[in-house]
Amino acid sequence: MGYPIRDYNLDGDGDGSINPTIKYKETYGTYENKRKFYLGVSNTVGIDNSFFTYLGVPDSSTITQFTGRTNAFHMDSGATTCTIDGISEEPTFDVGNAELRTDTGLSGTDYENIRARKFTTVPYGGFDGWDSYRDQRTNEDTYAINGTKGLLGVDINTFASYPLSNGEDGITSDYYAYLEGILTFNNPESVNVNVFATPGIDTFNNSGIVEETIEMIETDRADSIYIVTTPDVDSAGDVLTEDEVVDSIEDLYDSSYTATYWPWIQVNDTENNQYVWLPPTRDVVRNIALTDNIAFPWFAVAGVQRGDVDCIKARKKLTLDQRDTLYEGRINPIATFASEGVKIWGNKTMQVADTALSSLNVRRLLIQARKLISAVSIRLLFEQNDSIVRTQFLNLVNPILSNIRAERGLTDFRVTVDNSPESIDRRELNGKIFIKPTNALEFIQVEFILTPTGASFDDI
């Protein structure tokens, strides 16, 4: 429907001003691979990137001319007029070079190839578009609907009411823009992910969004790991101590599906030719993918083999005692070694209780086993609920767990099925899987004992 622009000819005074415009790609080139090229907004005809810089509502009551609109784009060459909800004037279309309405119109044209029936557009504005007239983000907890700044924003009409997809009430602050984006992943049957991260959201300033994300991962999905950012400096930019970091999150989070890492790392931003500090999340998720490729999900994402951090340095070189403090506080250290460099040096989730699920590799083992078993179990749905289907269930599940055991994920397991008449009458197949996960080696203790020259080691 076109892009909103400032209308310099609004008053019709004919002063020669030209409104901003945009050029669309309307046809495919003779030698262009239609799988790789797109109509619509395209760099093959040129893009003015500043055209799509969202400026939001001007911070001035005197600027009233943002009422214009560029030409719209339609793939059908016969598109002339249409009505769009919320648009008072019918858009003027730039169009493709063929008809897209009937099989006859497609015949002999570019659109006859189904791969050619596509075009590119650019998101513009929206309540969650960044408004450059603001001087700060509005995604902190205080910008929630009941937060101090959220209430103030509603009171002075900076924020409007915005209903969320989960049925709750929100407002047009960045807090709910992030939350809406997170909620789009809450259905595991429609979006397949196994690692989740929220850039720009951290455990100090965004505890509300972090808790919502943990709830979504742990309750709605239960098939993914959430890697969350923990800051390493205070509001003044001073580096925090490990005790301060542990104390800041001590009573906030409790989840075996969540892990965090500290401190941040320095990397080279080649695009802007400068060094920047980033949370280690990038390297954590990269090493999770590496571990899944060279080993298995139940191997720890840490250490020399699967914990490499590609950076210039860590913000803080941790001592052994400092690493222990962080680890006891459910924070995985980013360690620096003179010989090995910077490494991920922890395998702990943010679960408070000290159980097997305190280990990230054990949680990932259960997630992987659940996914594999669910994938084969679904084949049995709506089959006859008798002893044969129960045997089929055992024959499908046991080989999966045997393979995990062979690949060092389990030390042993057992699968049982409820054959009671009550469960059969309820049209249920209730199985129980008992497993003994293989824990990752986290501590090596070596004792040196000095012996006399004449002592025999055979006597030790």
Domain spans, the chain: 1-127
Instruction: Give residue 352's Cα distance to chain centre.
Output: 24
Strands 93-98 and 72-76, sheet pairing: parallel
* Through-space distance between the first and last CA atoms of the chain, rounded to whole angstroms: 85
Give the per-residue pLDDT at 67: 73
Give the per-residue pLDDT at 90: 80
Distance CA 394, CA 389 (A): 9
The per-residue pLDDT for range 408-433, each reduced to its tens digit, is: 999 999 999 998 999 999 999 999 99
Strands (E), 99-255: 119-120, 161-163, 169-171, 195-202, 225-229
Give the per-residue pLDDT at 126: 61
Give the per-residue pLDDT at 131: 60
Residue 292 is inside which H or E element, if any? helix 281-294
Q: Provide the residue type at 248 as one letter.
A: S
Mean pLDDT of 243-257: 93
**In the predicted structure, residue 242 carries a pLDDT above the cut 80:** yes
3-state helix, strand, coil in the chain (%, to 5): 30, 20, 50
Greatest mean pLDDT among 17-26, 314-323, 373-382:
314-323
Give the per-residue pLDDT at 57: 57
Name the pLDDT band for 277 (thresholds 50, 70, 90): very high
Residue 431 is inside which H or E element, if any? strand 431-437
**In the predicted structure, residue 134 carries a pLDDT above the cut 70:** no
The per-residue pLDDT for range 338-358, each reduced to its tens digit, is: 999 999 999 999 999 999 999
